[in-house]
């Protein structure tokens, strides 16, 4: 047993839900803890700000909890600081007793099919970032003059993209969807959105509330072919157990839509189950999507896998959004599992290529376990990681007696970094809310980092 420092210093990389929940878990266990939270953007909250759909404001209310966490006297925010560029992980490791990496899954997985890179074929994350005002995607353009689009995937991100494309943009006006996206959606010519899942309706990864919303959109038909609801034996047996409440509820919705049929609404959402994209058609840009029908056969996990047949169909789409999974990106100085797109770890302790724990370096959230679960899932994930960190502090795995290195503040200032602290973020937050109030909107997001920094600087001068 080793004595713990009265005020252990912890660095957390990533100011999304996982980073904040890790900070909360530390604060509850170590009241005197000093936490520095780093994010490459001037704004905190990660996917709550840049990923949650604008028409789901209740989910965004979780930021009130994060505000409380940030009010802890030992908490500091280092916004607009890129770890691996402005400061290295070894430098953080030297300056803190421990480092927690909570950077999420920042990029999308590829389909790996011909034509995927044609103009008009996009990652769903690009579209989500664009309509949410994420600075990385503010320059993206989406050709909404097309009449038909395809969304590949059946997770919640795919459902969000489908809903934003299909719904009346007037209903989005009172949300925080950014103005350039709102103007573009008003001019949209889309009449059909095809949603494609490689397996069956029982395996749809979306949650029931999100799915149900699609059938409640005014002026939109949700179309399901009754033949697609004839289940393979494995899926039927899985559903019959009643243990998978999400699959049961989702099937009830799909069956209701199949029974209702088209009503002649102005727009339609058409589901294609047991289908996989095999080629994006076109020369300079997307002019169609070829899909193959799949047989669903039992796999070793007790579920089903998709096996392509000879049945091929071409969808006349001019716009494609890929939502088939997400992966983390590596950070210099930290091991990375390129196959899985995560930082290799043992329950949250980062491990090297030999499987040995890297002392004092931890992970939580999607960079730890892959892109699974909802926002709340990250709370227990972060708590599990912090429990290991606390154990390592108390048992001497982390050398709490060592002399800590140069404070990061000095390193960053010497390198000319323009750090946004929590008061700077609050100034930007107030500016966005004030800008939105005049239009009857919750906020008007600033989508340029340069403009964000100008607002923060002006706030600091007051």
The phi-psi region of residue 384 (left if phi > 0; otherwise alpha if psi is between -120 and 50; otherwise beta) is alpha
Q: Per-residue pLDDT averaged across 89-111, rounded?
A: 93
* CA separation for the pair 135, 420 (Å, rounded): 15
Strand 267-272 and strand 220-223: pairing? parallel
Q: In this model, does residue 56 exceed pLDDT 50?
A: yes
Please indicate whether residue 326 or residue 152 has the higher confidence score (pLDDT): 152
Name the pLDDT band for 207 (thresholds 50, 70, 90): very high
Q: Cβ–Cβ contacts within 10 Å for residue 400, how many?
A: 17
Q: Per-residue pLDDT averaged across 191-211, rounded?
A: 97
* CA separation for the pair 432, 176 (Å, rounded): 10
Domain spans of the chain?
9-106+328-420, 109-325
pTM (2 decimals)? 0.94
Q: In this model, does residue 357 exceed pLDDT 80?
A: yes
Q: How confident is the model over 426-457, as pLDDT tens digits?
A: 999 999 999 999 889 999 999 999 999 999 99
Q: In this model, does residue 1 exceed pLDDT 60?
A: no
Name the pLDDT band for 4 (thresholds 50, 70, 90): low
Top CATH class, 109-325: alpha beta
CB 278 within 8 A of CB 291: yes
Q: Which of 399, 357, 400, 363 is nearest to 382 (CA)?
A: 363
Q: Which of 417, 349, 428, 422 is nearest to 389 (CA)?
A: 349
- φ and ψ at residue 76, rounded to 5 degrees: -135, 145
Q: Per-residue pLDDT averaged across 164-192, rounded?
A: 96
Q: Per-residue pLDDT averaged across 17-31, rounded?
A: 96
Mean pLDDT taken over the chain: 94
* CA separation for the pair 18, 371 (Å, rounded): 12
* CA separation for the pair 366, 204 (Å, rounded): 20
Q: How confident is the model over 35-45, as pLDDT tens digits?
A: 999 999 999 99
Give the single-character DSSP code of 104.
Answer: -
Strand 192-196 and strand 267-272: pairing? parallel
CATH architecture of 9-106+328-420: 3-Layer(aba) Sandwich (3.40)
Name the pLDDT band for 461 (thresholds 50, 70, 90): low
């Amino acid at each position: 047993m080793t004595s713990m420092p009265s005020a252990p210093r912890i660095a957390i990389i990533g100011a999304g839900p996982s980073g904040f929940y890790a900070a909360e878990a530390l604060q509850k266990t170590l009241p005197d803890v000093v936490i520095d939270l780093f994010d490459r953007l001037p704004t905190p909250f990660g996917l709550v700000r840049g990923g949650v759909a604008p028409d789901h404001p209740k989910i965004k209310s979780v930021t009130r909890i994060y505000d409380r966490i940030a009010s802890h006297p030992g908490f500091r925010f280092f916004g607009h600081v890129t770890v691996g560029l402005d400061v290295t992980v070894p430098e953080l490791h030297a300056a803190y007793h421990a480092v927690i990496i909570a950077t999420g899954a920042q990029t999308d997985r590829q389909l790996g099919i011909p034509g995927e890179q044609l103009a008009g074929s996009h990652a769903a994350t690009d579209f989500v970032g664009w309509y949410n005002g994420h600075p990385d995607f503010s320059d993206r353009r989406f050709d909404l003059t097309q009449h038909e689009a395809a969304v590949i995937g059946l997770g919640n991100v795919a459902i969000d993209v489908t809903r934003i494309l299909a719904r009346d943009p007037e209903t989005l006006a009172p949300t925080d969807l950014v103005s350039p996206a709102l103007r573009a959606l008003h001019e949209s010519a889309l009449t059909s959105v095809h949603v494609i899942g490689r397996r069956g309706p029982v395996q749809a990864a979306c949650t029931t509330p999100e799915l149900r919303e699609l059938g409640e959109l005014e002026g939109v038909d949700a179309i399901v072919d009754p033949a697609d609801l004839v289940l393979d034996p494995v899926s039927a047996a899985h559903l019959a157990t009643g243990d998978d409440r999400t699959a049961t509820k989702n099937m009830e919705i799909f069956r209701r839509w199949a029974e209702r049929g088209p009503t002649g609404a102005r727009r339609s959402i058409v589901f294609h189950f047991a289908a996989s994209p095999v080629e994006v058609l076109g020369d300079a840009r997307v002019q169609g999507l070829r899909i193959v029908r799949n047989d669903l056969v039992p796999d070793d996990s007790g579920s089903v896998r998709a096996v392509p047949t000879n049945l091929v169909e071409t969808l006349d789409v001019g716009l494609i959004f890929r939502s088939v999974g997400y992966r983390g990106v590596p950070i210099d100085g930290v091991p990375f599992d390129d196959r899985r797109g995560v930082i290799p770890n043992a329950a949250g302790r980062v491990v090297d290529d030999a499987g040995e724990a890297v002392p004092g370096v931890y992970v939580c959230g999607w960079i730890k376990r892959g892109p699974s679960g909802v926002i709340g899932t990250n709370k227990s994930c972060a708590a599990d990681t912090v429990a290991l960190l606390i154990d390592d502090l108390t048992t001497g795995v982390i050398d709490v007696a060592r002399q800590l290195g140069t404070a990061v503040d000095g390193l960053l200032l010497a390198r000319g970094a323009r750090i946004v602290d929590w008061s700077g973020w609050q100034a930007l937050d107030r500016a966005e809310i004030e800008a939105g109030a005049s239009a009857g909107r919750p906020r008007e997001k600033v989508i340029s980092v340069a403009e964000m920094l100008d607002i923060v600087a002006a706030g600091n001068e007051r």
